[in-house]
Amino acid sequence: MCWKGLVQIMCAQSYLDELEAEAIYIMREVAAECEKPVMLYSIGKDSSVMLHLAMKAFYPEKPPFPFLHIDTTWKFHEMIEFRDQKAKELGIEMLVYTNEEGVKQGINPFDHGSAYTDIMKTQALRQALDHYQFTAAFGGGRRDEEKSRAKERVFSFRNENHGWDPKNQRPEMWKLYNTRIRSGESMRVFPLSNWTEKDIWQYILREHIDIVPLYFAKERPMIFRDGNWIMVDDERLKLQEGEEIQQKKVRFRTLGCYPLTGAVESEAETLEEIVKETLGEVTSERTSRVIDYEETGSMERRKREGYF
Partner 1 sequence: MMDLLKFLTCGSVDDGKSTLIGHMLYDAKLLYTDQRRELELNSRLKSRNGKLDYSLLLDGLMAEREQGITIDVAYRYFSTDARSFIVADAPGHEEYTRNMAVGASFADLAVILVDVARGVQRQTRRHIRICNLMGIRHFVFAINKMDLVHYNKNYFDEVVAEIEKIIAGFQVESSCSIPVSATEGDNITSPSVRMGWYTGKPLLSYLEQVDVSDSRKTEAGFVMPVQRVCRPNSDYRGFQGQIESGSISVSSEVTVLPKGEKARVKAIYRGDTLVETAKAGWPVSISFDREVDVSRGCVLVKDFTGMVSNLFSARLLWMDDEPLIPGKNYLVKLGTKTTPGTVMSVKYKIDINDGTHVPADVIYKNEIADCQISLSERIVMDKFDRCETMGGFILTDRVSNMTSACGVIKHDLRRSDNLVWQETDVDRQMRSAQKGQEPRTLWFTGLSGSGKSALANALEKRLLALGKHTMLLDGDNVRMGLCRNLGFTHQDRIENIRRVAEVSKLMNDAGLIVLTAFISPYAQDRENARAIIGDGFVEIYVSTPLEVCEKRDVKGLYQKARRGEIPNFTGISSSYEPPAKPEIQIDTSKCTLDEAVEEIIKQLGLDV
Question: Which residues are at the interface with partner 1 (CB under 8 A)?
Answer: 7-8, 11-12, 14-15, 17-18, 20-21, 24-25, 28-29, 31-32, 55-62, 143-144, 147-148, 150-151, 153, 166-167, 169-176, 178, 180-182, 193-194, 196, 198, 281-284, 287, 296-297, 300-301
Whose Cβ is closer to partner 1: residue 167's or residue 238's? 167
Q: How far is the CB of 182 from partner 1 (least distance, A)?
A: 7
Whose Cβ is closer to partner 1: residue 1's or residue 282's? 282
| Per-residue three-class SS string for 232-264 | CCCCCCCCCCCCCCEEEEEECCCCCEHHHECEE
Whole-number Å distance between alpha carbons of 183 and 102? 28
- CA end-to-end span of the chain: 43
Q: Which of 101, 139, 121 is nearest to 291 (CA)?
A: 121
Q: How far is the CB of 134 from partner 1 (least distance, A)?
A: 18
How many other C-beta atoms can be found within 10 angstroms of the C-beta atom of residue 77?
11
Whose Cβ is closer to partner 1: residue 150's or residue 239's? 150
One-letter identity of residue 154: V
Helix ranges, 164-208 (H): 197-207
Which residues in 161-175 are b (16+ Cβ under 10 Å) and which e?
ebebeeeeeeeeeee
Whole-number Å distance between alpha carbons of 228 and 86? 30
Q: How far is the CB of 296 from partner 1 (least distance, A)?
A: 7
Q: How far is the CB of 299 from partner 1 (least distance, A)?
A: 10
Q: How far is the CB of 57 from partner 1 (least distance, A)?
A: 7
CA dihedral 292, 156, 44, 121 (to 10 degrees): -60
Whole-number Å distance between alpha carbons of 206 and 13? 8
Burial of 208 (0-12, 13-18, 19+ CB in 10 A): exposed
Q: How far is the CB of 142 from partner 1 (least distance, A)?
A: 9
For the chain, what is the radius of gyration of the CA atoms? 19
Whose Cβ is closer to partner 1: residue 76's or residue 157's? 157
Whose Cβ is closer to partner 1: residue 48's or residue 108's? 48
Whose Cβ is closer to partner 1: residue 243's or residue 281's? 281
Whose Cβ is closer to partner 1: residue 98's or residue 169's? 169
Q: How far is the CB of 241 from partner 1 (least distance, A)?
A: 29
